[in-house]
Amino acid sequence: MSYLQSLIHAHHAGHAAGITSVCCTNAHVLQAAMAVALQYGSPLLVEATSNQVDQFGGYTGMRPADFVAYVHQLADNAGFPAGRLILGGDHLGPNTWQHLPPNEAMAHARGLIAAYVAAGFGKIHLDCSMACAGDPFPLPDAVVAARSADLAAVAEQAAGQAGLPCPVYVIGTEVPVPGGEASLAGGIQVTRPDAAAATLAAHRAAFAERGLDAAWERVIALVVQPGVDFDHSTVRHYAPHEAAALSAFVLEHRGLVYEAHSTDYQTEEALHALVRGHFAILKVGPAATHALREAWFALAAIEDELVPVEQRSHLKAVLERTMLEQPRHWHKHYAGKPEEQAVLRRYALSDRSRYYWGEAPVQQALARLQGNLDELTLPLPLLSQYLPEQAERVNAGRLAPRAADLARHKVELVLARYARACHANSLPC
């Protein structure tokens, strides 16, 4: 039995156990996640999305095997035990190829699933909820389930051919878009228990039709909408009473919990309540990169105080210029006047800037920022002004005043909220 399956069994036995899913490829975020997992003595679940990593390279340029090697190298550098790493694939299905007819999109999705499983990803989110060219919208549960079972069959075969354990699966039809960013203007509807029951029934039947009974036993979670989400400037916080019926429903299914997407920016109290409400897998992504962006901007402000203008990194200006030169990751998301878009590019909770930290000009500016600051003794008053929580730890001798350490610590504070929520009554790893 995998750690995730053990976690679900413990959860149903009355332990308020959960796990954080860090859905990110940024090295600083992953290093922060490893530091937090070491601090709390827990496994680390890291997930890549179908947009970030696919068999053609995704927007990161990494294929699944590349991502596995990348995360394991980070873990080795951090002294994080490889045996405590769990790798997952998020939104795996025809998402990237929705513009194609279903048969073509699903052919690509099969290649995607096979590549992920063969590379060693042990948790697979089967997401066929999106309509492809010519499909009805929204897709009926039966169609979503049939396509998901198709991909599960591919995953089972790929694991067998690679000599790897078969993965555990996450399913669901009420799936938030990758990266969150729902429009909260019309409100968020909590999934109804009857809708969750229909999804489960459709998937169970589709798996059975393909002879995937053993795979069905490894379906560990259902993606539903617990009433949480965020947009560019607003957060919809968890209200346990609104999801009470949904929380009660999953207790009827002993091997199953809920996976909550878009939990970014929830309060720690809300995260604890989500785990108690059987949303035992909490996904986080933009909140972590948003915290990292805040840290880099704060460090750039300190640089402006200490470094002559001609030697500065001009990080904010470089990032802005890069985003304007390559608008594909934000222009469909940020509406409004040019000055409003500029504010969103820099500060929005949806954090589309996270797509640009790997670009060469931004990387060069980051390297210069870190080099400039690491050559100096950073004055405590400036740290207190721009990074007050980190300044407290520096003052206590518990944090090195190096740029990268200061930035990662800001991310660690975000991820530690999740760790405490998931380990309030958890399992030994």
Does 401 sit behind a cis peptide bond, omega within 30 degrees of 0 on the bond before it? Answer: no
| Strand stretches in 172-305, DSSP E | 219-223, 229-230, 235-236, 257-260, 281-284
DSSP state of 145: H
Nearest to 178 by CA among 136, 127, 132: 127
Give the Å distances, CA to CA, from 160 to 66, 146, 169, 211, 363. 21, 21, 16, 16, 40
Three-state secondary structure call for residue 41: coil
Q: Which residue bears the tokens 């604890």?
A: 272
Q: Tens digits of per-residue pLDDT, 27-58?
A: 999 999 999 999 999 999 999 999 999 999 99
Would you state the pLDDT for residue 1? 63
Torsional sign, CA 126, 120, 54, 228: positive
10 Å CB burial of residue 82 (0-12, 13-18, 19+) is exposed
Whether the CB-CB separation of 116 and 89 falls below 8 Å is answered with yes
Q: Per-residue pLDDT for 176 more than 90?
A: no
Residue 175 predicted with pLDDT over 70: yes
For 318-365, write each residue's pLDDT tens digit: 999 999 999 999 999 999 999 999 999 999 999 999 999 999 999 999
Q: What residues contact 77, with CB distance under 8 A and at least 6 apart?
A: none
Amino acid at 250: V
Q: Which residues of 338-354 are buried (b: 16+ CB within 10 A; e: fewer)?
A: eeebeebbeebbbbbbb
Residue 263 CA to residue 229 CA, distance in Å, equals 6
- C-beta of residue 19 within 8 angstroms of C-beta of residue 10: no
SS (H, E, C) 255-273: CCEEEECCCCCCCHHHHHH
Q: How many CB atoms lie within 10 A of CB 140?
A: 13
Beta pairing partners, 44: 85
Assess whether pLDDT exceeds 70 at residue 170.
yes
Phi, psi of 249 (to 5 degrees): -60, -40
Measure the CA–CA gap between 22 and 195, rounded to whole angstroms.
Answer: 27
Map residue 429 onto helix, strand or coil.
coil
Q: Render pLDDT for 221-234 as a digit per residue (tens, 0 to 9).
A: 999 999 999 999 99
At 16, is the pLDDT very low, low, confident or very high (cuts 50, 70, 90)? confident
Q: How sure is the predictor about 181, in pLDDT bands with cuts at 50, 70 and 90?
A: low
Report in angstroms the alpha-carbon separations of 285 from 90, 121, 260, 263, 396. 12, 18, 12, 9, 30
Q: What is the mean pLDDT of residues 123-148?
A: 95
Q: Residue 255 corresponds to which tokens in the numbers above?
A: 């091997």
pLDDT band at 428 (very low <50, low <70, confident <90, very high): very low
Q: Which CATH class is domain 289-413?
A: mainly alpha
Taking CA 38 as the corner, what is the angle to CA 89 and CA 166, rounded to the nearest 5 degrees?
Answer: 30
Interhelix angle for 403-422 vs 27-40, to 10°? 50
What are the residue ranges spanned by the domains of the chain? 3-285+417-422, 289-413
DSSP state of 130: S
Fold of 3-285+417-422: TIM Barrel (3.20.20)
Using the predicted structure, report yes or no on whether residue 427 has a pLDDT greater than 60.
Answer: no
The mean pLDDT value of the chain amounts to 95
